[in-house]
Structure 1
Amino acid sequence: MLVGGPFEGLCFFLKEKGPSMSKVEMTGMQASTDGVAFSASAAGTQGLFLVPVDILSDLACSSMDFEDEMLEAFAAHSGVIEKATWAALADGQAAEAGERVVLSRAGFPGLD
């Protein structure tokens, strides 16, 4: 067992970093005037989430007037939404049964 030396910082980094991002399964997308609601699960954690319409509009650089536009924007930007959802799950933001987590702008780097 190594104590100290050049590997000490690496071991600390790996311990603090935790597990790598796992695949987020997003299902049951439903558009409403609030945005797109969906179920998500990753690494044994699950919850209900909402991407607000203002975030979808900013991602698509377009206003979201119809539900099909919201679903198209969700599909087109699913990679970014997946990362924001994973971050919320990793931060312990899975909602209580029947409640949903509203994803915040903080989870979407580059949006002002």
Structure 2
Amino acid sequence: LVIKLQDVDWASVSNVKKHQQAVVGFLEANRISFQEVDITMLEEQRLWMYRNIPRDKQPEKGNPLPPQIFNEDRYCGDYEDFFQSKEDNTVFAFLGLSSQPSVKDSES
């Protein structure tokens, strides 16, 4: 099971970058395995992301902004959904994880 974070590598969009950093920071702090996918460099990944975001989550104009979060191919949500799940203390369910990953002693 791999959490995929569809993001961009351009700092000019400060809110996007802040949101990306918040998601990455949470995943790292909780030792959740994830893969960042830079959609600015990979056209195929950008198109995949657009196709796999449910219609009701698509903006009226333009394209959805990163970060968009997937668990494998299952859409979890965008930053607002992630933030709300943190506020509600349901982020592991939001990510499609059964519970917080346990820390193994052998990893130290």
Give the TM-score of the pair, scaled to structure 1: 0.29
The higher-RCO structure (CA 8 Å, 6+ apart) is 2
Question: For the pair shown, which has the larger CA radius of gyration, 1 or 2?
Answer: 1
Give the TM-score of the pair, scaled to structure 2: 0.30
> Of Structure 1 and Structure 2, which has the larger fraction of its residues in strand?
1
